[in-house]
Amino acid sequence: MKVAVIDLGTNTFHLIIAELTADDARICYKTNLPVRLGEGKINDNFIIQEAFERGLLALEKFSLLIKEHDVELVKATATSAIRSAENGVSFVKAAKNYAGIDIEVISGDEEAEYIFKGVRATGVIDQSSLIMDIGGGSTEFIICNKEALLWKKSYNIGAARLMQAFFHSDPITTADQNAITRHLDAELGDLKEVLNLYQPKHLIGSAGAFETFTGMLYPELSLKETKYHPIDIPAYKALSATFVASSHEEREKMPGLIRLRVDMIVMASILTDYILSAGNIEKLSLSTYDLKMGVLSDLQN
């Protein structure tokens, strides 16, 4: 059976088309479009008109691709930007009327569950681990081992939310960095408790910013052909420090840093640095599989 999975993220909409059999999921086609649904007012829980229209146009393009590939089943999931927006329901209705796509708005817990299933499918979980998925609107944390998911939670501390609330200078000031740290201290108290309880030593970053970190540290690596890859922590910390100390103009010129992440990578770096320190992490890896691959895995099963 041919299926399509659509992940309506805060920054990017993703489409995967796959042929499912009893034993395998073969990817036939994949693409993504930078929609920036959280532009301007994500912390006011509102999708501005320009972003609303970009989202509908992206779904219209996806709908045409789905028809071209004779897809039999479509699973579209919406996450933080749409579930928290006052006009999120209006967007879901408009998507059905405009592009013929039924969208399921999933909870943060459901999002974390799908992320776990996607990451587990790579085989990267080799010990007690902390999975981290930095989105634009939310960031999900999952504690797990090879056998099971042990704990999960979604927090409204995505890169777009942090950027709009705290990124007031170029480069970002020490004062703004300290404000982010205080905000994370206030938001992540229960995460620190479970980190102390389970003591995972392996941090697995799910796609997104972690693909950027990995791609820039290992430019010879083909991310499209990679399910997971280790990241040297000292090398990551040096790259993170470069991002945080640089200006927007300097980051625009960095090879391998896509335009959509030029500013959000600063927030992703600060957030990752915080977790590495809070969890006393000893090992860092990228998983290129994330929510959408978790949805695909669920459909296969």
Q: What is the pLDDT, as a whole number, of residue 300?
A: 86
| 228-231 and 103-105 strand pairing | unpaired
CA distance 206 to 177: 23
List C-alpha distances in Å: 39 to 57, 159, 172, 273: 16, 11, 19, 25
pLDDT for 23 equals: 78
Dihedral angle of Cα 251, 234, 203, 107, to the nearest 10 degrees: -20
- Tens of pLDDT, residues 31-61: 999 999 999 899 999 999 999 999 999 999 9
- How high is the pLDDT of residue 260? 87
Query: Model pTM?
Result: 0.96
- Say how many C-beta atoms besides its own lie within 10 A of residue 214's C-beta: 25
Model confidence pLDDT, tens digit, residues 111-145: 999 999 999 999 999 999 999 999 999 999 999 99
**Residue type at position 92:** V
Asked if 101 and 71 touch (Cβ cutoff 8 Å), the reply is: no
The list of the chain residues with pLDDT below 70 reads none
Question: What are the structure tokens assigned to 283, written together?
Answer: 């090992």
Share of the chain residues as helix, strand and coil, in percent rounded to the nearest 5: 50, 25, 30
Residues across the chain: 301
Which pLDDT does position 272 carry in this prediction? 98
Q: Could you give the CA distance from residue 114 to residue 5 in angstroms, rounded to a whole number?
A: 12
